[in-house]
Amino acid sequence: MQAVPTRHRNDAPNTPHLSHLTTPRRPIRSEPMHHKTFSPGDTIFREGDESEEAFWIVSGKVEISMETDGGPKVLTTLSDGEIFGEMGMIDDQPRSATARALTTTEVEVINEADFLQQIVRREDRLMPYLDTLFDRLRTASALLRAHLGKTWREARHHSTSAPPNPSHEVLDTLTILSTESSAALYPEGLRLNVTRFPFRIGRRNDDGHLFSRMDLPLFDQRPFVVSRSHCRIECQGAGYFVRDCGSVLGTIVNGVPIGTEYPNFMASLTPGENTITVGPEGSPHQYRIIIRDSPSA
SS3 of residue 258 by DSSP: strand
The per-residue pLDDT for range 212-235, each reduced to its tens digit, is: 578 999 999 999 999 988 999 998
Q: What distance in Å separates the CA atoms of residue 42 and residue 64, rounded to the nearest whole number? A: 12
Reported residue count of the chain is: 297
The per-residue pLDDT for range 86-111, each reduced to its tens digit, is: 887 776 678 888 999 999 999 999 88
Domains 19-121 and 158-293 share a fold: no
**Angular region, 157: left φ>0, alpha ψ -120 to 50, beta rest:** left
pLDDT score of 167: 35
Average pLDDT value over all residues in the chain: 77
pLDDT score of 33: 64
Closest C-alpha to 47, from 87, 90, 105: 87
19-121 CATH: 2.60.120.10
Task: Show me where the domains of the chain are located.
Answer: 19-121, 158-293
Fold of 158-293: Tumour Suppressor Smad4 (2.60.200)
Answer yes or no: is pLDDT of 261 > 50. Answer: yes
